[in-house]
Structure 1
Amino acid sequence: MLNDPLFILVALAVAGVAGILLFGIGGFAVGAGGKRANKIMRLRIIAQFVAVLLILLFVFIRGGN
C-alpha cells in the first residue's frame, strides 16, 4: 500500500488537515482570535473536504475491499 501514489496523496492530505487543525488550536491557545482564526478554520474545512474526497476516490478505485 505504501507504493500506491493515491494512498500517499490521501495520507498527505490527512496529515495536512491535522497540521492545520493543530496550528489553529495553537493559535486559539495563544489568544490569536478574530479574522485570522476564522481564516485558518475555513482553510481546515476546505482541506478536510479535499481529504474526504480523496479517501472516497481511493475506496472507489480500489474496490472497497
Structure 2
Amino acid sequence: MSANTLVLIACIAVAAVLLLGLANMMRGGSANVSQKLMRLRVLLQFIAIVVIMGVVWWRSA
C-alpha cells in the first residue's frame, strides 16, 4: 500500500464520518449519536494528521 493510498483512506474516513454527522443532524437524529460521531471525527482527524505528517517526513528523508 502506497503512502498516497494511506493519506486518501484517512481523508475519506474523516469525510465519511463528517457526512454521517451532518445527515444525523439534518434529520433531527439523536444528540448522543451526534456526540459520538463528533468524537470519532476528531479521533480520525488526529490519525489523518499523523499519517500525513509521517508521509511528509518519510518523503523528505
Whether the TM-score (by the shorter chain) exceeds 0.5 is yes
Say what the alpha-carbon RMSD is for the aligned residues.
Answer: 1.5
Runs of 4+ in 1 over 4 A off after TM superposition: none
Unaligned runs of 5+ in 1: none
1:25 is aligned to 2:19: no
Identity of aligned residues (%): 33
Q: TM-score, normalised by structure 1?
A: 0.86
User: Which runs of 5 or more residues in structure 2 are unaligned?
Assistant: none
2:41 and 2:57 mapped to 1: Cα distance?
Answer: 24
1:57 deviation in Å? 0.3
Q: How many residues align?
A: 61
Give the aligned residue type for 1:17: V
Match of residue 45 from structure 2: 48
